[in-house]
Amino acid sequence: MFISFEGGDGVGKTTHVFSLFQTIKKRYPVIMTREPGGCNLVKSIKQILINTHNKIDFVTESLLYAADRTEHLQQVIKPALSDNNIVICDRYLDSSFVYQGYLRKLGIKFIRQINYLAYKLLPDITFYLDLEPEIILKRLYDRSKSKLEGFDAQKLSWHQQIRDGYLKLCHLYPKRIFKINTNNLSFEEVHIIILNKLRELFRLNI
């Protein structure tokens, strides 16, 4: 089983990935991974991508993400699934659909083409954690003791566009992407929703 988590920075994806991993590992073989930089070979690509001093072309940026994802898929995700592990991934192809396809205006079709292998292996379920951009921006500033970096440093309108992009994906892939409105929910409440959905769809004993 392949599970991914999506959403803007600051919505709580990474914390929920770890929490779900801790819950599932009590009963099933499971690995936790992330993009970009999900394996040692491509961590240098991640550093290029998050370094704001690297003013790279948007197409080049998207190709770097695709290269990172392909290596991650071949070296981590596919082997883990072949060994009957549950894979929980913090970001996957949907992030490129939103950040490069929608925000960078490169288009979904182009992103699909350069991520051909990843598009052939989509998650069984994707949890999209939805949160108001104003709350996201406040969280990002609160958690950062210094200047925000990369995508985190963008203005409110940027975070609104990210949300709009994810909402469009929810309509494109309604059977795969499960949206959770987290605005008025505690962490525990969101975690319970995630567990209940996995029990409902896959009969996991968690």
- Give the domain CATH number at 112: 3.40.50.300
Q: Is residue 22 one of the residues assigned to a domain?
A: yes
| pLDDT confidence band for 142 (50 / 70 / 90) | confident
Euclidean distance between CA atoms 14 and 56, whole angstroms: 27
pLDDT (average), residues 49-67: 84
Q: Is residue 91 one of the residues assigned to a domain?
A: yes
Q: Which residue has the higher pLDDT, 36 or 4?
A: 4
pLDDT (average), residues 20-47: 87
Q: Is residue 154 one of the residues assigned to a domain?
A: yes
Residue 23 pLDDT > 80: yes
pLDDT (average), residues 85-109: 98
Can you name the residues that pair with 126 across neighbouring β-strands? 4, 177
| pLDDT confidence band for 205 (50 / 70 / 90) | very high
Q: Which residue has the higher pLDDT, 202 or 55?
A: 202
pLDDT in tens, 179-193: 999 999 999 999 999
Residues making up the annotated binding site are: 7-14
Q: Which residue range forms the structural domain that includes residue 68?
A: 2-198
- State residue 200's pLDDT score: 97
Beta strand 125-130 with 177-181 is: parallel
- State residue 153's pLDDT score: 54
Residues making up the annotated binding site for ATP are: 7-14
Query: Which distant-in-sequence residues (6+ apart) come within 8 Å of 70 by Cβ?
Result: 115, 117, 118
Residue 29 has φ and ψ, to the nearest 5°, of: -70, 130
Q: Which candidate, 19, 18, 2, places its Cα nearest to that of 85?
A: 2
Q: Is residue 180 one of the residues assigned to a domain?
A: yes
Q: Which residue has the higher pLDDT, 41 or 47?
A: 47
Q: Name the residue type at position 107.
A: G
Q: Is residue 204 one of the residues assigned to a domain?
A: no
Q: Is residue 188 one of the residues assigned to a domain?
A: yes
Q: Which residue has the higher pLDDT, 41 or 29?
A: 29
Q: Is residue 206 one of the residues assigned to a domain?
A: no
Q: How many domains does the chain have?
A: 1
Q: Is residue 205 one of the residues assigned to a domain?
A: no
Euclidean distance between CA atoms 165 and 115, whole angstroms: 18
Per DSSP, the three-state class of 86 is strand
